[in-house]
Amino acid sequence: MRRAATSLALLLALATAVVVAWLWWTAPPSDEAERLVAVAAAVPADADGVLVVARPVRAARWLGAHPQALALLKIAAPHADRRLPKMRALVAAMAGQADGPLAIWWRGPELGAAAQVGDASTRALERLAALEGVALRKRTGGLVAVASDPALLDESAGAPVPRLEPGTLSALARVGARWWLVRAGRSRLELRAGSPPALPDPTGPAAVSTPDLAALAAAADPPEWVPHAPAVVLAEGGGWALALPDTALSREVQRVLRAGGDAPAEAPEGARHWRGLLGDLWVLPGAGVAIASRPELLERLPRAGITEDSGLVRGPDLARACSTLAEAADGVPGGTALARTLARVAPLLAALRTARWRLTPAGGSILLEW
């Protein structure tokens, strides 16, 4: 009996140790806000954007479990990943040896990174930078900086940094002139800037509104025919609707969408019914685009005044939409690359429970939940 009790106690202790180790291993990154601000101050003022990550090794583990969060970085810096292959080895080595936060900044397609590392790590990074053909510079305060373009290592003027209340952050980011405070949890990622507006109601229908469709779609590498124009997308009950008030469909796209020709059906007054690549569609003719998979959704589309970036999407629904659009894009001239991207990201999106955001001139709020 005593042997059984001892074995049970050992098993319980082992299980507890495994759970504690797992919780520690998967914990989101966090550090004092003032430490992130200090590293952000070393970034050149003319950078298009900057991301300062707390505890980079832990952040990498967290991102490995939540890869959907990388879409935010792709939207913020749509071209910077062109230099990622050249910088990957150095940034990974720097992240592994960093004594504190890691800063990454970009200007156009060029990338830079900086962190505080020890003397031995600095010498190793110098050798690796020479092998990779990447510029490296030692900076004041024990920071070591690397960049795909030496111009990104200019120390003449650091970027002005925000004044923050004492506390902890997972990351600090600047896109343009707006600073974002980033906090990660085990199943959520929250970003807040300025005076954060209220997020869309999580129980409402899926909807996306943007004054610039191509900028929002940047993470998916859209083809050139995706317009820089206002857009609204609605999705409800398996149906969808799209409004592009300032954009007209090209003849080629119309021909694909209505490959089956017009079909008689009940529709709102003035609407037309097409049958084509995406199945049955209802279209309102006139200036701009108003198109839907169900006629009642046409009436809910705004035709003007789209000035706000906001949205509520659900991962599984978005994954199904991506799969459908991938099949459609594959049949459109120039859409092959988009189709491949959509097919690749669909399984990742399925793991995301909801994404909600609202951006205004006064501030912004973004929340991803798994």
Average pLDDT over residues 70-78: 88
- From residue 138, how far is each of 10, 112, 141 by CA, in Å? 51, 13, 9
User: Mind giving me the DSSP string for 292-336?
Assistant: ESSHHHHTT---S----EEEEEEHHHHHHHHHHHHHHHTTSTT-H
Average pLDDT over residues 4-30: 59
Confidence of residue 88 (pLDDT cuts 50, 70, 90): very high
Q: Is the pLDDT of residue 346 over 70?
A: yes
Say what the pLDDT of residue 188 is: 96
Q: Is the pLDDT of residue 13 over 60?
A: no
Average pLDDT, the chain: 85
Sorted by sequence, the CB contacts under 8 Å of residue 308 that are 6+ apart come out as: 209, 211, 358, 359, 360
More confident residue, 10 or 123: 123
Q: How do residues 143-168 score in pLDDT, each as one tens digit? A: 999 999 999 998 766 678 888 889 99
Q: How do residues 177-195 score in pLDDT, each as one tens digit? A: 899 999 999 999 999 999 9
Confidence of residue 135 (pLDDT cuts 50, 70, 90): very high
Q: Which amino acid is at 71?
A: A
Say what the pLDDT of residue 362 is: 94
Say what the pLDDT of residue 330 is: 76
Say what the pLDDT of residue 23 is: 45
Nearest to 113 by CA among 122, 104, 124, 121: 104
- From residue 334, how far is each of 215, 222, 224, 254, 329 by CA, in Å? 18, 10, 8, 15, 8
Q: Say if CB 242 and CB 271 are below 8 A apart.
A: no
Query: Do β-strands 206-210 and 102-107 pair in parallel, antiparallel, or remain unpaired?
Result: unpaired
Say what the pLDDT of residue 22 is: 43
Q: How many CB atoms lie within 10 A of CB 177?
A: 6
Please tell me the pTM assigned to this model: 0.84
More confident residue, 201 or 336: 201
More confident residue, 116 or 255: 116
Q: How do residues 282-332 score in pLDDT, each as one tens digit? A: 888 776 888 898 888 888 888 778 888 999 999 998 888 888 878 877 777
Say what the pLDDT of residue 132 is: 92
Q: Say if CB 55 and CB 39 are below 8 A apart.
A: no
Q: Is the pLDDT of residue 210 over 50?
A: yes
Q: How do residues 244-294 score in pLDDT, each as one tens digit? A: 988 877 777 777 677 655 555 555 666 788 877 677 888 887 768 888 988
Q: How do residues 38-66 score in pLDDT, each as one tens digit? A: 999 888 888 999 999 999 999 999 999 99
Place of tokens 């929002």: 216
Cα gap 262→259, rounded to integer Å: 9
Q: Encoding tokens for residue 289?
A: 């685009």
